[in-house]
Amino acid sequence: MLYVDESVDDATPFGDVRQRAFKIMPKETLQITGQHLSVKPASQLALRWEVVDTLAARIRRHLRPLYSALEFRGIVADNPWLEALAWVNEVFAKQQRLSQRPLAECPKATLPKRLRSFLLTFDADEEPTMPIRLPPTGSRPTLCRCQPICRRI
């Protein structure tokens, strides 16, 4: 590592250091290695959401009918997840997609802070914008993706 090599004088011009580096590793290899080191690896959470994006069509086809037929109940009266489930069932009963509904309808308590960057896009003031995010397939934008229950189903 030339940057910490004590045999290289501090007054050595950077061009000389670069030429010594190219003798150790070819320029193209060094550039590729530098790019790999400078790119932030994807988080586990980001990779999981990519998988969810690829499964969206299967979820719509197989789980939506089952989900619509089930009746969800809970012990806590003001449970935001039950509110979200009821909202999703209302949207499905109207033969609509969640992408056709405005973000304001999505129960706020179901958008956790740690997932907001995966679920929403933001303007310069850090406010959610419409449309939320284009799916990788280039299909219609999704206006609400409340946790996994609402995410593009």
15-54 per-position pLDDT tens digit: 888 888 888 888 888 888 888 788 777 788 888 888 888 8
For the chain, the structural domain boundaries read 61-150
**pTM exceeding the 0.85 threshold for the entire prediction:** no
What's the pLDDT at 48?
85
- Cβ atoms of 143 and 132 closer than 8 Å: yes
Query: H or E stretch including 119?
Result: helix 116-119
**Between residues 41 and 3, the one the model is more confident about:** 41
Q: Answer whether residue 71 shows pLDDT above 80.
A: yes
Report the pLDDT averaged over residues 92-112.
Answer: 80
Adjacent-strand bridge partners of 122: 128
Query: CA 132 to CA 36: how far, in whole Å?
Result: 30
What's the pLDDT at 129?
64
